[in-house]
């Protein structure tokens, strides 16, 4: 295409700061595909729980990068680890060892209680890794006939965006026109033990679940569900793959969401907060009987387990080992829940929450989730809707009780502005 000579970025005519918010949004509108619909705010800086836009307005971040920022923006320990590692070595590829790799893997094993890890980058890659390893286990150990392995997944799931993963999504927008789809997945209602039990066959290699469905709207299964799933897996020699990418790493008040039912999956699938909000870091963790099946050449990633990622991941694991963030999430989650419960019947239909993680169903007669997010934005709160009428709140775990109460007050006032009584 022709270069637009009025475009200050491509002409080098000005710094990004000269653009103003409207200019930045216009550039993105024209030059980025429209696969997202961001709120009209252009962030220039962020520290802790607060972000500042290009015009100097401050906002309380109640999304935290979909839980990638559990420790807040620019946590000093995470930044220090990243800065130090940037000056030493960032990437050597897996063709060689580096001095962050062994310690990262060992520390992640200690956190998860597992024997081994496979480091990757994005969450979707970690899910793909778990699917591949579960299939390999199904053929090599369980003795499933070649190409017949099945993995059971839940309705309303979100596990990422690759062609295989969208093959077993029931979100039409995420799936439509991306076929032909990868076979080998069976969908059952989330939360139903009976449906799961009925779906298991001798060809079932694994059950892949989010212990709490995040994109689905913070959907919490009935008490005892995860324990029952674990028992079914043991009974039928099936692997339990827990996608803790959004729910894990202190978000729910425990290190892992599975901890609430004392359930240990065969594979933990981790991402988002593992990269400390600095860079994409994901991994799966499991025991030797499963991950020990991988031989050289059978899986990999150029950037997976790179030195910078491992240094940042180690800082994250060290923060998690203190237990401080799990405790904050549990304590402040109770404050958040008490405040949100007062809105039920006043523009809010239902609240689901665990720790500092809440799905708030807005009365659809009042407004869409998007409209509430736009009203919140005007009041200095960043949040994100999901599935039309659900508001998802997941602030950084460094938020204070006063900030939690302030954020919910802004929500109350936003709902009132939209007509709630
Ligand atoms: C975000 C998410 C993923 C995908 O992670 P990406 O880093 O975006 O690929 C997978 N599973 C769950 C539960 C998630 O929330």
pLDDT of res. 4: 46
Pocket test for ligand 1, best of 121, 164, 165, 272 (most atoms within 8 A of CB): 272
The answer, yes or no, to whether any atom of ligand 1 lies below 6 A from the CB of 412, is: no
Rounded CA-CA distance 277/256 in Å is 18
402 is catalytic: no
Q: Where are the domains of the chain?
A: 76-321, 324-417
The answer, yes or no, to whether any atom of ligand 1 lies below 6 A from the CB of 123, is: yes
Furthest-apart CA atoms within the chain: distance in Å: 67
What is each CA distance from 175 to 180, 182, 233, 389, in whole angstroms?
Answer: 10, 12, 28, 21
The catalytically annotated residue of 59, 158, 256, 325 is: 158
3-state DSSP percent of the chain in helix, strand and coil, to 5: 40, 15, 45
Phi then psi for residue 219, to 5 deg, are -90, 120
Q: In tens digits, what is the pLDDT along the chain, a chain of 421 residues?
A: 454 444 444 434 445 668 899 999 999 999 999 999 999 999 999 999 999 999 999 999 999 999 999 999 999 999 999 999 999 999 999 999 999 999 999 999 999 999 999 999 999 999 999 999 999 999 999 999 999 999 999 999 999 999 999 999 999 999 999 999 999 999 999 999 999 999 999 999 999 999 999 999 999 999 999 999 999 999 999 999 999 999 999 999 999 999 999 999 999 999 999 999 999 999 999 999 999 999 999 999 999 999 999 999 999 999 999 999 999 999 999 999 999 999 999 999 999 999 999 999 999 999 999 999 999 999 999 999 998 899 999 999 999 999 999 999 999 999 999 999 8
Q: In what order do the strands lie in the sheet with 358-362?
A: 348-353, 358-362, 390-393, 384-386
301-125-121 Cα angle (round to 5): 60
237 is catalytic: no
The answer, yes or no, to whether any atom of ligand 1 lies below 6 A from the CB of 124, is: yes
| Residues in Cβ contact with 122 at an 8 Å cutoff, skipping those fewer than 6 apart | 160, 271, 280, 282
The answer, yes or no, to whether any atom of ligand 1 lies below 6 A from the CB of 160, is: yes
Helix or strand (DSSP H, E) at 331: helix 324-341
Q: Whose CA is nearest to atom 6 of ligand 1?
A: 123
Q: Are 113 and 242 contacting, i.e. CB atoms less than 8 angstroms apart?
A: no
| Residues in Cβ contact with 67 at an 8 Å cutoff, skipping those fewer than 6 apart | 214, 245, 246, 247, 249, 251, 272, 273, 357, 394
Pocket test for ligand 1, best of 126, 213, 245 (most atoms within 8 A of CB): 245
The DSSP code for 138 is I
Q: Are 378 and 417 contacting, i.e. CB atoms less than 8 angstroms apart?
A: no
Classify residue 9 as exposed, middle or buried by CB count within 10 Å of its CB (0-12, 13-18, 19+). Answer: middle
- The fold of 76-321 is 3.40.640
The answer, yes or no, to whether any atom of ligand 1 lies below 6 A from the CB of 210, is: yes
Q: Taking the model in full, what pTM does it have?
A: 0.96
pLDDT of res. 17: 60
Q: How far, in Å, from the CA of 243 to the mean position of ligand 1?
A: 8
Atom of ligand 1 nearest to the CA of 244: 13
Task: Give 30-62 pLDDT, tens digit per residue.
Answer: 999 999 999 999 999 999 999 999 999 999 999
The answer, yes or no, to whether any atom of ligand 1 lies below 6 A from the CB of 243, is: yes
7 is catalytic: no
pLDDT of res. 421: 87
The catalytically annotated residue of 272, 325, 361, 363 is: 272
Pocket test for ligand 1, best of 160, 165, 384 (most atoms within 8 A of CB): 160
Q: Are 126 and 282 contacting, i.e. CB atoms less than 8 angstroms apart?
A: yes
Task: Pick the closest to residue 288 from 117, 144, 167 (CA basis).
Answer: 117
pLDDT of res. 188: 98
What is each CA distance from 98 to 57, 90, 291, 336, in whole angstroms?
Answer: 42, 10, 21, 43
Would you say domain 324-417 falls under CATH 3.40.30.10?
A: no
């Amino acid at each position: 295409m022709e270069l637009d000579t009025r475009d200050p970025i491509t002409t080098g005519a000005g710094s990004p700061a000269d653009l103003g918010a409207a200019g930045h949004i216009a550039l993105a509108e024209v030059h980025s595909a429209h696969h997202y619909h961001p709120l009209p705010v252009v962030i220039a800086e962020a520290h802790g729980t607060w972000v500042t836009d290009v015009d100097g307005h401050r906002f309380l971040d109640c999304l935290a990068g979909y839980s990638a920022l559990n420790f807040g923006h620019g946590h000093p320990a995470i930044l220090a680890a990243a800065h130090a590692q940037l000056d030493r070595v960032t990437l050597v590829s897996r063709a060689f060892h580096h001095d962050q790799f062994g310690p990262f893997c060992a520390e992640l094993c200690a956190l998860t209680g597992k024997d081994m890890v496979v480091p990757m980058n994005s969450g979707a890659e970690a899910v793909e890794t778990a699917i591949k390893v579960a299939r390999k286990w199904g053929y090599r150990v369980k003795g499933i006939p070649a190409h017949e392995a099945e993995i059971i997944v839940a309705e309303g799931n979100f596990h990422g965006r690759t062609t295989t993963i969208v093959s077993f999504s029931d979100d039409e927008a995420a799936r439509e026109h991306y076929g032909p789809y990868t076979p080998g997945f069976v969908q059952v209602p989330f939360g139903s033990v009976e449906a799961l039990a009925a779906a298991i066959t001798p060809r079932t290699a694994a059950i892949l679940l989010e212990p709490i469905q995040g994109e689905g709207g913070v959907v919490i299964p009935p008490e005892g569900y995860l324990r029952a799933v674990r028992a079914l897996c043991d009974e039928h020699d099936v692997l339990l793959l827990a996608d803790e990418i959004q729910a894990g790493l202190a978000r729910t008040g425990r290190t892992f969401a599975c901890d609430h039912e004392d359930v240990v999956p065969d594979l933990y699938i981790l991402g988002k907060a593992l990269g400390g909000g600095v860079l994409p870091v994901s991994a799966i963790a499991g025991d030797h009987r499963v991950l020990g099946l991988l031989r050289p050449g059978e899986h990999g990633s150029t950037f997976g387990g790179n030195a910078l990622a491992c240094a940042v991941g180690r800082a994250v694991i060290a923060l998690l080992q203190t237990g401080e963030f799990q405790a904050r999430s549990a304590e402040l989650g109770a404050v958040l829940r008490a405040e949100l419960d007062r809105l039920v019947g006043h523009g809010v239909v239902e609240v689901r929450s665990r720790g500092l993680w809440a799905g708030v169903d807005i009365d659809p007669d009042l407004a869409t989730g998007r409209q509430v997010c736009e009203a919140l934005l005007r009041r200095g709160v960043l949040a994100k809707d999901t599935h039309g009428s659900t508001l998802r709140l997941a602030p950084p775990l460094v938020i204070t009780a006063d900030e939690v109460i302030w954020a919910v007050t802004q929500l109350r006032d936003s709902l009132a502005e939209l007509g709630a009584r």
